[in-house]
Amino acid sequence: MTQTDTGPGAPAEADARLKLSAAAGYADVPLAEKERLFDEVRADPRFGDYLYGCYECGICVAVCPSARFYDFSPRRIAQAAAREDAELVYQQMVEDIWECSQCFSCVRCPRGNNPGGLVTIMREVAINNGLASAKEALVGYSRIIYKIMSTGTQVSPDMLQEDAFPDWGPETADVSVNLDLWRRALPPETLHTTNTGWKVADSTLIELYLIWLHTGALDMIADVDPSLHAILTEVMEERLEEEGIEI
């Protein structure tokens, strides 16, 4: 796996607010590297399913929630990919892609483009190559990846802590204080858990671990979060070893 820790290193006189290559230091990254990353994006089998060109009609921007609150444009995503503009695609992988809401409102595109899907692919390439934007995007997110990969459910009742969700109102504290009792008051037997969404069978979890290992999904985080990767690897290998399963 190639290490490409090449985030924007803005020159002292540059205006970092501008999304311009010259100001943001993108010119320092060799074109060949940008083209290599774009080739990875283009090599994804879904790329051809998601891109058919662009009228520049702007429908995708009009319906995009992220375009309302960020300097983000699904039209630019489709345009850059269609023009095979490796420079702009690289800039988007550094600055734009983590602003997308992944709601897929943009698939309203009359040409059948899927800019949100292109963003998904670009994010995967950013993660696989350890780009600085990917590391930054995952700050504060590690516990979620740990939860989903190690337990099979993404969010759990015990995540509802007042300090984690102070903006969700006093009811969050009520849930936290009464968690065990309120979970035991739920009539479905599978929901009596506090550290997972529901009770996942041990055999099911082992199958999930094998999927993460055999598809390379676990190794995707090796560069962006080496500590988390090490912890998850140990958790999974230990569990599989207990079951006598060789990887």
Partner 1 sequence: MTTIPVEEVLRKKQTFERGDEDRRSLIDPRAELLALEAEGELVVQRIDREAVSVATKYGREKRIQKAHLWHHKSCGQCGHIPGYSTSIFWVMRKLGYDYHDPQDQTSCTAWNYYASATSNSAAQAAVAVRNFAAARETGYFPLIHCGTSYGHYKEVREELIRHPELRDEVRKIMARLGKELVLPEEIVHYSEWFYAMRHEIAAKAVRDVSGVVATVHPACHYYKLVEGDAIYDPDIYGGQRTAVVTGLAQALGAEVRSYSTWFDCCGFGFRHILVQRDFTRSFATLRKIEVMKAEADPDVVLTHDTGCVTTLDKSQFAAQAHQRNVGVAVLSDAQFAALAMGAHPYKVCQLHWHSADYRPLLEKMGIDHEQAWAEFQADIKRLENGEKRYLDWDDVDA
Half-sphere exposure of 37 (CA within 13 A, CB side): 31
Distance CA 54, CA 76 (A): 10
Torsion of CA 99, 104, 110, 111, to 10 degrees: 80
Q: Does 47 bind partner 1 (CB under 8 A)?
A: no
* Cβ-based neighbour number of residue 102 at 10 Å: 11
- Residues from 176 through 235 that contact partner 1 (CB under 8 A): 178, 181-192, 196-201, 203-205, 207-208, 210-212, 214-217, 220-221, 224
Residue carrying structure tokens 């459910």: 153
Tell me the longest C-alpha to C-alpha distance in the chain.
63
Among 32, 48, 56, 227, binds partner 1 (CB under 8 A): 48
Q: Does 60 bind partner 1 (CB under 8 A)?
A: no
Task: Give the shortest CB-9-to-partner 1 separation in angstroms.
Answer: 24
- Residues from 106 through 125 that contact partner 1 (CB under 8 A): 107-108, 112, 120, 123-124
Cβ(233)–Cβ(218) below 8 Å: yes
Closest Cα partner for 57 from 18, 130, 110? 110
Q: Does 172 bind partner 1 (CB under 8 A)?
A: yes
User: What type of residue is 131?
Assistant: L
Distance CA 90, CA 105 (A): 24
Contact segment (CB under 8 A) with partner 1 among 2-10, 16-24, 44-52, 235-243 equals 44-52
Task: Give the shortest CB-28-to-partner 1 separation in angstroms.
Answer: 25
Contact segment (CB under 8 A) with partner 1 among 4-12, 17-25, 100-108, 236-244 equals 100-108
Among 65, 71, 242, 243, binds partner 1 (CB under 8 A): 65
Contact segment (CB under 8 A) with partner 1 among 13-21, 23-31, 39-47, 88-96 equals 39-47
- Residues from 8 through 37 that contact partner 1 (CB under 8 A): none
